[in-house]
Structure 1
Amino acid sequence: MKTTMNLVNKEKIEQILKEMVDHAYENIKGEEVLLCMDCCDVDLYVAADSYEPFLEAVRENFELDEIGEIMDREAYHVLMRELDEYYVDLHVKSGYYDYFPAGSYIVNGREEESETNILAPKGVFYAPFEDAIIE
């Protein structure tokens, strides 16, 4: 995990992100779900919004105002973009998903083009299309 900010709790944040990937997978394991990598289907901002331990761990790296809000919003957004890249990469490398890069695929005997990178629960699809389910 690479960030421009020197994190006071890097290992803690890494561990929480890995737990979030595990949890996300458990919620869709074996289901016929395609996750568009370019459409924010795998997005840390969305996942973090409901995962308080992650938000608390991030706050530990910032000065907070009197109501507990991060004062340097720009630095926060930079960090979140960097952590989002890592979060997406964790999904791809987790072993939980099949990764389908943008490109051409043969689906039911016809050539189909995927314009985006797609993740799907491992072993459910043979190509990044709804009708490419492994029987």
Structure 2
Amino acid sequence: MLKTTKKLVNEQEVIEILQSIVKKSYDEIKDEEILLCLECADVDLEIATANHFEFHEALKKNFELDEFGEILDYDEYRQLMYELYDYFIDLHINSGLFDFFPEAEYEVEGEMLISDSDIIAPKGKFYAPFEHALKNSDK
């Protein structure tokens, strides 16, 4: 399921951790009217996992470690994180928890607006990737 150059010995464990991070992120913002830019680091694997012990321990299972438990091949680790970032973005888009608005032209309040970034938002909040494109607005 993961498309990584490194074959993971615990692929399902890594997938489940990433899925739980996406779900937790959604739970934290589901009631907010917030737009997240996918190219602007609003959704960032490094930040989401910075203090996630379980995630880092799961990744370490796939690498040779030094006497201090640190990954020896840092370049291979960086490559894996880069590839997991793409999967992390796809998880957000395909989770069913978020609406995905690709870079495109949208009609908002009778005006054509261009979004130059891919955007996600909690499901059902917006009809286009703009702050004033709220569904069920009291306007």
Pairwise TM-score range, normalised by the shorter structure: over 0.9
1:40 is paired with a residue whose SS is coil
Structure 2 gaps of 5+ residues are none
Distance, in Å, in 2 between the alignment partners of 1:4 and 1:103 is 32
Alignment of 1:116-131 (within 5 A): 116-131=117-132
Which amino acid in 1 is paired with 2:44?
Answer: D
Q: Distance in 2 between matches of 1:37 and 1:15?
A: 21
Which amino acid counterpart does residue 102 of structure 1 have in structure 2?
E
User: CA separation in 2, counterparts of 1:44 and 1:78?
Assistant: 13
Structure 2 residue identity aligned to 1:7: L
Amino acid at match of 1:28: I
Secondary structure at the residue paired with 2:49? helix
> Deviations 1:97-118 (Å, cap 9, x if unpaired)?
1100111111122111100000
Worse-matched range after superposition: 94-103 or 44-53:
44-53
Post-superposition shift, 1:2? 1.3
Matches within 5 A, 1:2-21: 2-21=3-22
Instruction: Determine if contact 1:99/1:119 at 8 Å carries over to the other structure.
Output: yes
> Which amino acid letter does the alignment assign opposite residue 55 of structure 1?
H
Normalised TM-score (structure 2): 0.93
Q: Tell me, yes or no, if structure 1 residue 103 matches structure 2 residue 83.
A: no
Alpha-carbon offset, residue 67 of structure 1: 2.1
Aligned to 1:30: 31
Rounded to whole Å, the distance in 2 between the matches of 1:29 and 1:52 is 25
Between 1:16-25 and 1:63-72, the stretch displaced more is 63-72
Root mean square deviation of aligned Cα? 0.9
Per-residue deviation, 1:30: 2.4
Offset of 1:76 from its aligned partner? 0.1
Aligned position for 1:84? 85
- The secondary structure found in structure 2 opposite 1:104 is strand
Residue 8 of structure 1, CA deviation: 1.1
Paired residues for 1:60-71 under 5 Å: 60-71=61-72
Structure 1 unpaired stretches of 5+: none
Q: What residue identity is the alignment partner of 1:21?
A: V
Q: Give the AA of the match of 1:121.
A: P
Which aligned segments of 4 or more residues in structure 1 are displaced greater than 6 angstroms?
A: none
Instruction: Count matched residues.
Output: 135
1:52 is aligned to 2:68: no
Counterpart contact for 1:30–1:122, Cα < 8 Å: no
